[in-house]
Amino acid sequence: MTSDEASPPLRVVRLHPAGGDETADRELDVDLSEADVVVADGISEGVDRCDGTVDCVVSPYELTDGTADDLFDRLPESGSPPVVLVVDGGDGTVPAAAVTAPFADVVRRDRPDFGPRLADAVRDVVPDRTNPRVVGAHPTEASEMDAWKANLFDHLFTEIPLHVFVKDRTGRHVVVSEGPVESRIHRESSAYLGRRDVDGVVPDAEARGPYEDDLSVVATGEPILEKEEHFAETDRWFVTSKVPWRADGEIVGLVGIAEEITSQKDRERQLRITNHVVRHNMRNKLNIVVGRAALLANEEPSGHLDSILSAAEDLLGLIDEQQVILGIMVGDPDPRPIDLSAVVRRVVRSVSDDYPDAEVTCRVDSDAVVSATENVHYAVSELVENAVVHADDPAPEVTVTVEAVGDDVSLRVADAGPPIPRFEVEILTDRQPIDQISHSSGLGLWVVRWVVKHADGTVSFAERETGGNEVTVTFDRAAEHEP
């Protein structure tokens, strides 16, 4: 092995020779400076020092209480550190045991480069310290190691909270982790066993790519590492790694692991959205402020002040919406029971107070407790106020309905205003990417989107036959309030 400054020091036991020559001790101190050398006066003390943490033993053949052969007899048959034998060799002979006994290496003291050669021998015989021997409370006996590994493997697959899997050469699942994964990609672990992804485990449109990756890993022996995969049916993202599984030098399948990164991808998506909205909308509003302010310097205020005030209010609203979204993205995403009926009533009262010319009608079921985050009131407020503000009629009519049916609770906001632009709906529902040309006019409906997504709900947009829009948000009814 090579020394690594980040690794702990080598632990070496050095046994004294029978004649008391400490040359090897001095040489180790100089040429193996990274080692922690412990001196033992005889075989008994040397064996006692080999407690499972020692990397190597350096021993002369003749010891104060026996020979290096006797040392071998006293050391355990397995799990013992390698032994480097130091021999005199000055008369051209070495002990027969240096050839017949299983010493890791033999170094002659009479050579002029004895020190460096001894240090190199120790480094070479020490196992790779990036993959150390299992010691301490774990087995070191080869006969016990297989059972220990099997137990560790079983524990890994029953406890680790990740989607871990083993597949054969055809892509069929052999083993799937059973740990506490909150929600797997599509099914429970037992549903995968004996089946390929294309056998109905995963929707067909989403199964083909991962299945082809399986076959590629098996055919080429090349791993696929940290590949991002999107499962559109549930709008979830995973990062997946797959490596070949080899037995007796042959590829017999693959081992893989998938970790969900949906929250990370959601944050990245919202950053892109905010970047476009801020760059486009804020720049336009600021251009209005700057341009009208320049006109004010040369003529009567007339309508310029109104334009400046309107642009400034729009900017403040945009900033407020950004702050709400930021709070949603970094806040507690865990749903809890929320009385949607009470939330809707409060929002309707507030909007009616702010817009007295509007007629906002509220019809709600009494028992409409949903599973949602505490930010649900932002979504309700955005939908109701949006319907009022964007209406053509100075006295708009808006109907808000909350209906509980079975395990679902639906919130519907209907208005008679102009249709929500199709491209905006497509962006909000991920059917079209946001870009320089197609981008949302604001962030309000994105507040709705993220609140609903964090509640595992759905949102849909429709044009009413009589004119206007109907936005429907569906939540799961809270478990303790299910019929």
Written as one string, the DSSP assignment of 251-290 is EEEEEEEEEE-HHHHHHHHHHHHHHHHIIIIIHHHHHHHH
Same domain membership, residue 476 and residue 334: yes
309 in a structural domain: no
Asked if 464 contacts 414 with a C-beta cutoff of 8 angstroms, the reply is yes
Distance from C-alpha of 411 to C-alpha of 323, rounded to nearest angstrom = 24
Q: Which of 215, 235, 260 is the last residue of a domain?
A: 260
286 in a structural domain: no
Asked if 52 contacts 88 with a C-beta cutoff of 8 angstroms, the reply is no
Torsion, CA 266, CA 267, CA 270, CA 271, rounded to 10: -150
Distance from C-alpha of 159 to C-alpha of 263, rounded to nearest angstrom = 23
Same domain membership, residue 84 and residue 30: yes
Reported in sequence order, the residue ranges of 142-223 that DSSP labels E, i.e. its strands, are: 163-168, 173-176
Distance from C-alpha of 325 to C-alpha of 453, rounded to nearest angstrom = 12
Same domain membership, residue 150 and residue 120: no
Per-residue pLDDT of the chain (483 residues; tens, 9 = 90+): 444 445 667 889 998 887 666 665 676 777 888 888 888 888 999 998 887 788 899 998 888 888 888 888 888 876 788 898 888 766 655 666 665 567 888 888 888 888 888 888 888 888 655 544 454 455 555 556 677 777 777 777 777 778 889 999 999 998 888 765 554 455 556 777 888 988 887 888 888 899 999 999 999 999 999 999 988 877 788 899 999 999 888 999 999 998 888 877 877 776 666 666 666 666 677 777 767 766 776 666 556 667 776 776 777 666 666 666 666 655 556 788 999 999 999 999 999 999 999 999 999 987 889 988 888 888 898 899 989 988 888 899 999 999 988 889 999 999 988 888 786 777 666 555 544 333 445 566 777 887 888 788 888 889 888 889 999 999 999 877 665
| Sign of torsion over alpha carbons 118, 124, 126, 129 | positive
Q: To 10 degrees, what angle do helices 376-389 and 340-354 make? A: 40
Distance from C-alpha of 475 to C-alpha of 456, rounded to nearest angstrom = 7
Distance from C-alpha of 403 to C-alpha of 413, rounded to nearest angstrom = 12
* Per-residue confidence (pLDDT) for residue 2, from 0 to 100: 46
What tokens appear for 446 in the block? 């994105």
Same domain membership, residue 202 and residue 114: no
Asked if 369 contacts 339 with a C-beta cutoff of 8 angstroms, the reply is yes
What tokens appear for 294 in the block? 């320049």
Nearest to 376 by CA among 403, 411, 424: 411
Place of tokens 């009208």: 292
* Per-residue confidence (pLDDT) for residue 434, from 0 to 100: 46
DSSP 133: P
Largest alpha-carbon pair distance within the chain? Answer: 115
Asked if 359 contacts 376 with a C-beta cutoff of 8 angstroms, the reply is no
Torsion, CA 374, CA 378, CA 383, CA 388, rounded to 10: 140
318 in a structural domain: no
pTM value? 0.43
Same domain membership, residue 461 and residue 411: yes
CATH number of the structural domain spanning residue 77: 3.40.50.2300
CA atoms within 13 A on the CB side of 32: 31
φ, ψ dihedrals at 248, nearest 5°: 55, 40
Same domain membership, residue 409 and residue 374: yes
What tokens appear for 14 in the block? 């050095």
Q: Which of 212, 238, 260 is the last residue of a domain?
A: 260
Give one DSSP letter per residue of 308-361, joined into a string. HHHHHHHHHHHHHHHHHHHHHHHS----EEEEHHHHHHHHHHHHHHH-TTSEEE
Domain count, the chain: 3
103 in a structural domain: yes
Asked if 475 contacts 411 with a C-beta cutoff of 8 angstroms, the reply is yes
Q: What is the CA radius of gyration of the chain?
A: 37
* Per-residue confidence (pLDDT) for residue 7, from 0 to 100: 60
CATH number of the structural domain spanning residue 344: 3.30.565.10
Place of tokens 């006109």: 295
Range of the structural domain that residue 243 is part of: 142-260
Q: Determine whether 12 is exposed, middle or buried from the number of CB atoms within 10 Å of its CB (0-12, 13-18, 19+).
A: buried
* Per-residue confidence (pLDDT) for residue 131, from 0 to 100: 47
Measured CA to CA in angstroms, residue 178 lies from 81, 183, 238, 472 at distances of: 38, 11, 18, 37
114 in a structural domain: yes
Distance from C-alpha of 287 to C-alpha of 289, rounded to nearest angstrom = 5
CATH number of the structural domain spanning residue 241: 3.30.450.20
Same domain membership, residue 157 and residue 104: no
Distance from C-alpha of 55 to C-alpha of 72, rounded to nearest angstrom = 16
What tokens appear for 39 in the block? 């001196």
Same domain membership, residue 463 and residue 403: yes
What tokens appear for 321 in the block? 């919406």
What tokens appear for 392 in the block? 């053509």
Pairing of strands 83-87, 56-60: parallel
Same domain membership, residue 169 and residue 107: no
Same domain membership, residue 204 and residue 109: no
Same domain membership, residue 356 and residue 475: yes
Same domain membership, residue 473 and residue 334: yes
172 in a structural domain: yes
Nearest to 31 by CA among 95, 120, 111: 120
394 in a structural domain: yes
Helix (H) or strand (E) holding 62: strand 62-63
Q: Which of 234, 260, 286 is the last residue of a domain?
A: 260
435 in a structural domain: yes
Distance from C-alpha of 440 to C-alpha of 435, rounded to nearest angstrom = 9
Amino acid at 429: T
